[in-house]
Amino acid sequence: MSITKRMAFDDNSVVAQLYGHHDSNLVRIEALTGAQLNARGNQMDVTGEGDEVTVASKALTGLYERLKRGLSVEMADVEASVRFAKNGDDSGNVDGESIRTRRRTIAARTPGQRGYLQALRERDMVFALGPAGSGKTYLAVAQGVSLLLTGKVERIVLSRPAVEAGERLGFLPGDLKEKIDPYLRPLYDALHDMIPAEQIAHRMESGEIEIAPLAFMRGRTLAHCFVILDEAQNTTPMQMRMFLTRLGEGSRMVITGDPSQTDLPNNQRSGLTDAIETLENVNGIRFVRLTSQDVVRHDLVTRIVEAYDARDQQARR
């Protein structure tokens, strides 16, 4: 049964921002919720089925409160507000988990990401498991940058195993650095979103930011730093054990990966899978499992992830 809820916004100075250019924010909320939004000045009629109206009105409330606090609203924030509303949260994550870096404030865009940010803040070792686009690496880099800028760690160490589908280092041109850089590009990209390029170069030169392949970690003790192992599904059990035991005094470690996307040979067990089974109940380690509902890239990525997951579940039956 269709119902209509009337909303009124008392601060006319932020209403235009709430609606978006040519009402683009309202159009997106309609697409995501199924409700119809009819704006007349600072009043809004929200029409649809009961659940649709509830989600749309909660999303609008969260965005409105965000704007009143002086925060910006972009399309990603609109989509995030709808996700939180569908989860029963009308705050739009205004009071939720966020990370401040030099260039921007990075906030959770899904309930799953909010739990991940909380784990990053509270635990010395966090495993983030989930599909592409769910923010595993990006949020971990953001937390590392924030801790570095506030002096809570002395260095950030970012690492990846140099394994990719169908490629090996020896087939790539150039010296060792030129061979390794393509594997580490996602880590560079995340850093550039958070720190000006000239500062990244300076901090890398001084050793405050280090990006290295996993093979270079053996024999080291990583103290007073924030350490990230990305694409951990491509480690072997021996490599994973070696990496985890590098954790030194005053350090934090984040291991990210998607167990379903390993590029190891078919007969090779993933170190990430092995670590999950071995360390699941170890006190002090947090395992965060993100899903297709936490994907914040293009909507089509979410549907692709869900389609592959459905196929894999069918194959296991």
pLDDT of 165: 44
Sign of torsion, CA 110 116 120 121? positive
Domain ranges of the chain: 3-86, 98-316
Average pLDDT over residues 71-98: 74
- Residue reference for tokens 């991940």: 116
- Residue reference for tokens 């109206």: 53
- What does the mean pLDDT of the chain come to? 85
Q: Is the pLDDT of residue 183 over 90?
A: no
CATH class of 3-86: alpha beta
Q: Is the pLDDT of residue 88 over 60?
A: yes
- Residue reference for tokens 């966090």: 126
pLDDT of 170: 52
Give the pLDDT band of residue 233 (cuts 50, 70, 90): very high
pLDDT of 31: 92
Average pLDDT over residues 66-94: 78
Q: Which CATH architecture has domain 98-316?
A: 3-Layer(aba) Sandwich (3.40)
Q: Which residue has the higher pLDDT, 143 or 296?
A: 143
Q: Are 77 and 69 in contact (CB under 8 A)?
A: no
Give the pLDDT band of residue 262 (cuts 50, 70, 90): confident
Give the pLDDT band of residue 174 (cuts 50, 70, 90): low
Say what the pTM is: 0.79
Q: Are 294 and 112 in contact (CB under 8 A)?
A: yes
pLDDT 10s digits, 93-141: 545 567 777 767 788 888 889 899 999 999 999 999 999 889 999 999 9
Q: Which residue has the higher pLDDT, 297 or 246?
A: 246
